[in-house]
Structure 1
Amino acid sequence: MKKICIALAMASFMTACNNEAKDPVEKADSTNEAKQDSMPKAVQTDEETTDFLVKAANGGMAEVNAGKMAESKATNAGVKRFASMMVNDHTGANSQVMALAAARGVTLPASVSEEKQKAAADLDKKTGKDFDKDYMDMQVKDHKETINLFEKGLDNSKDAEVKTFINNTLPKLKQHLDSAQAVQKMLK
């Protein structure tokens, strides 16, 4: 019996250690899947909505982090203004995503994905005009991806309140993309 208890304790410990090493977004996805499996169908949040909220939180946190970095590292005034707008606007959107997720019992990532962390670390190595250019290139790319995520969320989510959030946020994201492209063009 003692051997069985030790084996179970070791298995639990190994599982816990394995979960700690996971990418924050993957960890949130796993937690949400486990929650969904244990909830009655009537109270479950649809998978598309859960997936949207997790990805929106990841992207939003990355935008704020990169924006704060650019506020301090950028040399171009237009890049600094854009970065400040990203921090302000995405902080507000992140608060809304957190509220929507909390109301639905959706677990969000505690930090950005490993992919976003690596992109931020690579950007942080840049200085001067190289930093400004790479930050704006990243912003154009990321906003195109985010707009795509939000449009798919609008099409696929079955949650009316989440769809309202998406409808209200999409115009601002498109404005961000237009602004990012204008600043990017100015840097060339």
Structure 2
Amino acid sequence: MKTSLTLTLGIVSLAALAACSTQRVATVTTPETVAVVPAPSTTMVMGATPAVQFNAADTHFIAVAAGAGMYEVEAARLALTKASNAQVRGYAQMLLDQHTAANQQLMAMVTSKGHKVAPGMPAALQQKIATLNRASGADFDHEFVRTTGVADHMATIAEFERSRSSVADPDLRAFIDRTLPTLRTHLQQAQDLAGRMAG
């Protein structure tokens, strides 16, 4: 597990440690991930269930999936305001709806196991949004479809497929199995859209 943290992740992790000094903090710190920390709980509550222990692969997957999901939602919101092509806007709306739903499912599952995902998009993905935001008109449409639609979905699918065999938590594996077909559909639709825009 890498130890370098961005300032934001460091503050979140330190706050979590201060609030829950007896709990262990699981943090994944690659540039494209977010921190996963135990949710605060009061030890005075009778019958409180301790946090489910995630292994390193579980924590890594949650962080990567949460970061990618936040990025997809933010990129889709941007496309709804900047895209000049109606088909691109339609694709963006579909991404917004479906990635928002998947993000909510992931967060609910993580919360139900006594953990939370630190708020905020990873810095590397914030930079991708900033780069995308600098484009306009047809250039924006092509960049959004090429990057967010095709390249980023290919990377996310590869991560989900790798994680499928390494995560230990059965609910995470079920989330991967439910979400992968949707991600593959998003990729196929982006590839089709890119072909129509090129032709």
TM-score by length of 2: 0.75
Given that 2:107 and 2:117 are in contact with CA atoms closer than 8 Å, whether structure 1 keeps it comes out as yes
Which residue is 1:4 aligned to? Answer: none
Task: Give the AA of the match of 1:80.
Answer: R
CA gap 1:93/1:128 in 2 versus in 1, 3 angstroms: same
State the alpha-carbon separation in 1 of the partners of residues 5 and 150 from structure 2: 33
CA gap 1:85/1:43 in 2 versus in 1, 3 angstroms: closer
2:174 corresponds to 1:164: yes
5 Å-filtered alignment, 1:5-24, equals 21-22=7-8
Q: CA offsets per residue over residues 76-114 of structure 1, 9 Å max, x none?
A: 111001000000000000001101211223331311111
State the alpha-carbon separation in 2 of the partners of residues 20 and 85 from structure 1: 32
State the alpha-carbon separation in 2 of the partners of residues 19 and 143 from structure 1: 25
5 Å-filtered alignment, 1:65-80, equals 65-80=74-89
Q: Secondary structure at 1:111's aligned position in 2?
A: coil
State the alpha-carbon separation in 2 of the partners of residues 63 and 144 from structure 1: 13
> Which protein is bigger by CA-based radius of gyration?
1
Deviation at 1:128, TM superposition (A): 0.3
Which residue is 2:150 aligned to? Answer: 140
CA gap 1:131/1:27 in 2 versus in 1, 3 angstroms: farther
State the alpha-carbon separation in 1 of the partners of residues 71 and 168 from structure 2: 26
The structure 2 residue matched to 1:152, chosen from 159, 162, 178, is 162
Task: Give the AA of the match of 1:182.
Answer: D
Structure 1 residue runs of 4 or more that deviate by more than 3 Å after TM superposition:
33-36
Q: Structure 2: 5+ residue runs without aligned partners?
A: 18-24, 28-35, 39-50
Q: CA offsets per residue over residues 101-145 of structure 1, 9 Å max, x none?
A: 112233313111111101100110111000000001112111001
TM-score by length of 1: 0.79
State the alpha-carbon separation in 2 of the partners of residues 97 and 90 from structure 1: 10
2:104 corresponds to 1:110: no
Q: Structure 1: 5+ residue runs without aligned partners?
A: 1-17, 37-41
CA gap 1:105/1:51 in 2 versus in 1, 3 angstroms: farther
> Root-mean-square deviation (CA), in Å?
2.6
The structure 2 residue matched to 1:61, chosen from 70, 77, 90, is 70
Given that 1:58 and 1:109 are in contact with CA atoms closer than 8 Å, whether structure 2 keeps it comes out as no
State the alpha-carbon separation in 1 of the partners of residues 86 and 193 from structure 2: 10
5 Å-filtered alignment, 1:66-105, equals 66-105=75-114
Number of residue equivalences = 164
Q: Secondary structure at 1:107's aligned position in 2?
A: strand
Which residue is 1:184 aligned to? Answer: 194
State the alpha-carbon separation in 2 of the partners of residues 19 and 145 from structure 1: 22
Q: CA offsets per residue over residues 12-49 of structure 1, 9 Å max, x none?
A: xxxxxx9772458x959x9424968xxxxx94211111
